[in-house]
Amino acid sequence: LHILDLAVMAPVHYEGELIAWVGNATHHVDVGAMTPGRAPLATDWHQEGIIFKPTRIVEDGKIRDDIFNLFLDNVRMPRYQSLDLKAQISANFAASQKIIELVKRYGVDAFRQTVDSSIELGESQARERIALLEKGEYHEVEYLDYDKLYKVECKLTIDDDGLHFDFAGTDPEAKTFINCALPCAVANLHNILACQLFPDLSVNAGTWRLVDVSIPSGTIINCNPPAPCSGASTITGWRVQGITLALLTQALVKSSRKSYSMAEWGWGFCDVQWTGFDQFGRWYSLRGDQNLHGGGGRAETDGIDVSNIAGSTNTNIPSIESYEYRYPVLYLSRGLVPDSEGAGQYRGGRAGYWSRCLYGVESANDLTFYIGRDLQSRGVFGGHDGTSSRIVLKRGTDVMSRLSEGVPLYNELEGEEELLPQQPSGLDRVINAGDVIFVRGMGGSGYGPPELRSPESVRLDLEEGLLSAERALEIYGVKAE
């Protein structure tokens, strides 16, 4: 999907014959770019890290030390990444062995026939599902805010041959790292189709025979070398997800599968990255807690709180203790943001927030970037928009001296507050001991008019403390008891 997602593939042989391929992809924390992790300052892809064209890393059943060490010598966290890469290689070995066990039990011909039948089943199931949608044309436009406003435009045509997505009208590629290459855009589109249209079907190569995607070359979602694109998967890739979901919702709401229609999910990616040396003299790079978005309201129920994006709802946010154990930081808070939902008959999911400071060290370098500061997730069918993303830094607080009284909340601390820009200028921003950062994700948008929301649901939100009395009365017409 982008340069930090390393794919490792392996052929599967049985009695000297190639019978299958196995593979996996894993996001690596660093690939040797001009800055740690992603490269938001890059102006071409050569600044984004080491590039591997298909390269043999295992030969005769053994890891090639020359290639393995070449990778580790060019990344900033080899002690972790060596384990990640070995895990990928081991996963392929395990998958290969399982396939060989099947072939030994049933034979090569039966294995191949089963694979072919599965692909044919994927196509036939997808064709039946698409037939439930109303034929015609659907159109959507989405935007992305970063150094400027970018447009993603798409027309979906549904006919007897399947689904046809045409992204004509999308803006030209950017000079910064937010672009994505064609495989990333198509993968994100497929992701939404798999989750929203085909969640209960056999999704495989047969499914995608019925999905045609046309994206003009040289655009922000089909960039050409050497355009930078290390931010692809979580920036422009997510906007492809958003526009695909919006188009499908238009079609689903007119079908027998209306219950799968939904409002836009939060998409404002917040990436706070601190680097430096910890109290033991070890270099570190800390990211994390980015998946703070609320899910969009759905046709029959509310959106999911802190859901991540629509196409990746199984993402976990690591425990605070795991961060504090590995890195010189102290978390002051993490939770759900009250009043962050897009109001609706079925409200959007609440966004998450967190705040933290340094602990045990005097300073760190900061490379923060984010999208969705000036835009929101969009409500549908009368539902309201969700809230935008926000990252603020409060300088020179007395947080450490106040810890003896209990952990203070961010808004209780005194200090000079700064709304951080979306685009970093470099690693020259320094976080000092006593500085506290606060991050808020993007709330999910609402589905349907909020005046149709049941008073019981509003009162439950009030009881949870995630809806203010003022908002309940103003938006929903329900008075707090």
**What is the 8-class DSSP label of residue 204?**
S
Answer positive or negative: Cα dihedral of 332, 338, 341, 346: positive
Quick: pLDDT tens for 103-157: 999 999 999 999 999 999 999 999 999 999 999 999 999 999 999 999 999 999 9
| pLDDT at position 29 over 70 | yes
Quick: pLDDT tens for 43-102: 999 999 999 999 999 999 999 999 999 999 999 999 899 999 999 999 999 999 999 999
Six token digits for residue 410: 């961010």
Answer positive or negative: Cα dihedral of 73, 78, 354, 309: positive
Q: How many CB atoms lie within 10 A of CB 280?
A: 9
User: What backbone torsions phi and psi does residue 400 show, to the nearest 5 degrees?
Assistant: -70, -40
CA distance 280 to 182: 43
Tell me if 266 sits within 8 A of 293, measured CB to CB: yes
Q: How many CB atoms lie within 10 A of CB 401?
A: 9
CA distance 411 to 396: 14
355 forms beta bridges with 333, 438
Predicted TM-score (pTM) of the model is 0.95
Quick: pLDDT tens for 197-235: 999 999 999 999 999 999 999 999 999 999 999 999 889
Mean pLDDT computed over 369-375: 95
CA distance 214 to 186: 9
Tell me if 126 sits within 8 A of 201, measured CB to CB: yes
Quick: pLDDT tens for 308-320: 778 776 667 889 9
Q: How many CB atoms lie within 10 A of CB 381?
A: 17
Q: How many CB atoms lie within 10 A of CB 53?
A: 4
Closest by CA to 329, choosing from 283, 360, 287, is: 360
Can you tell me which residue has the tokens 């601390």?
413
